[in-house]
Structure 1
Amino acid sequence: MEELDIVTLIVRHRVRAAQRPAYEKWLRRTTQIASTYPGHLGVNVMRDAEQFVCVLRFAGTAELQHWLDSSERRHLIEEVAPLLDEGDQTQVETNREFWFTPTNAQPALRWKQACITFLVILPLSLLVPLLWQPLFAKLPILGGYFVSNVLITLSIVLLVVYLFMPRVTALFAHWLSSH
């Protein structure tokens, strides 16, 4: 199995206050279009009073570059330019998770990070082993102490990183950013 070289595109837009509804409509259309590109792994949008931060993940640099160089994206950026106070601000990250620092502001307080992480991991640590039990019963080789713990831990980590943590941090973004 080939390991993915996941790359993250962070897009920051400062939207003119009167243009927020038009921008929201543009953003929904844009994220839907981006999701059709090969290698697209998901998008999260964080909003605050000052800006929108979109985090797009792609399976690799080539897939991200295909989206960045596309005529569709170029037209979308031209279309949104009049709605923005500043231009299209992009940043590419290849080795950094993007859970707790959605803007250039200070990172969330560690105790808040711990609370959110606990909130996500606790239910998974209770549920995931139960979901694996039928397979462990049918294939005892997978139910051994080491193998079962590797499978359960791997499942939890993948669910946290790719599914739950981006959504939960977006949901709690305001609380995480308030000090």
Structure 2
Amino acid sequence: MSAETIDLNSVVTLVVHHKVRREALPSYEVWLRRTVAAARRQPGHLGVNVIRPGGEGAMFTTVVRFARAGQLQAWIDSDERAALIQEVSPLLEEGDHPLIHNDAEFWFTPAHGNVRQPPKWKQAVLTYLVICPLTMVIPRLWAPAFERYPVLGGVVPSNLLITLCIVVPVVFLIMPWVTRRCAGWLRAD
């Protein structure tokens, strides 16, 4: 599915937390590779990010994005996923914990329940620091096209193009990466 056909208002995210038994980590990694490959074959699949545990933890967080809620639901309800979950269950300490999000709130969702969500002001600062530079750079990059093709330079077309060029990389690339890199600061008191 190309970026031009994605309705950003319909994108949904499945966040799955798995606390893996220490002795089962190698088996879980093999299972995870097969599961990610299976998810990628699903209609409407937009991407998968796996956040592996750091330090002493064994909590894996998998973020799977789909273009539409119905496509995500089809994957969740599929026999293939049910078989994969049944297969992995003995490797887990606390079972399968899928959460569905239909907006950007997953950026700041804690990896496991005993960690509180970062303060709103930190979420706002981080989001501002990501979006602000893009709002200064992206319009300048489009300026030559707007001059050459005045129809694109109109208020509505130019804003649609600029917003698309900011929102798509922020949602799919930049914010997931930035929140992982800033996790310590986000959690600090």
Q: TM-score, with normalisation over the residues of structure 2? A: 0.77
> Would you say 1:172 and 2:182 are equivalent positions?
yes
> Would you say 1:151 and 2:186 are equivalent positions?
no
Displacement of 1:111 in angstroms is 4.5
Structure 1: gaps of 5 or more residues = none
Q: Say whether the 8 Å CA contact 1:101–1:107 is kept in structure 2.
A: yes
> Would you say 1:51 and 2:51 are equivalent positions?
no
Residue number in structure 1 paired with 2:171? 161
Q: Say whether the 8 Å CA contact 1:15–1:51 is kept in structure 2.
A: yes
What's the C-alpha RMSD, in Å, of the aligned pairs? 2.7
> Using the alignment, how far apart are the partners of 1:139 and 1:82 within structure 2?
60
Code of the residue aligned with 1:81 in structure 2: it is: S
Structure 2: gaps of 5 or more residues = none
Q: Say whether the 8 Å CA contact 2:44–2:68 is kept in structure 1.
A: yes
The structure 2 residue matched to 1:142, chosen from 147, 152, 164, is 152
Q: Render the CA deviation track for 1:35-92: whole Å, top value 9, x for unaligned.
A: 1100112222334425222222222232112212223222222222222111112223
Residue number in structure 1 paired with 2:22? 17
Q: Say whether the 8 Å CA contact 1:45–1:170 is kept in structure 2.
A: no
> Using the alignment, how far apart are the partners of 1:172 and 1:158 within structure 2?
20
Identity %: 50
Q: How many residues align?
A: 179
Q: Say whether the 8 Å CA contact 1:46–1:173 is kept in structure 2.
A: no
> Using the alignment, how far apart are the partners of 1:2 and 1:23 within structure 2?
32
Q: Render the CA deviation track for 1:117-175: whole Å, top value 9, x for unaligned.
A: 24422442343123212311221232245653453234212321233212322343344
Q: Which runs of 4+ in 1 moved over 6 A?
A: none
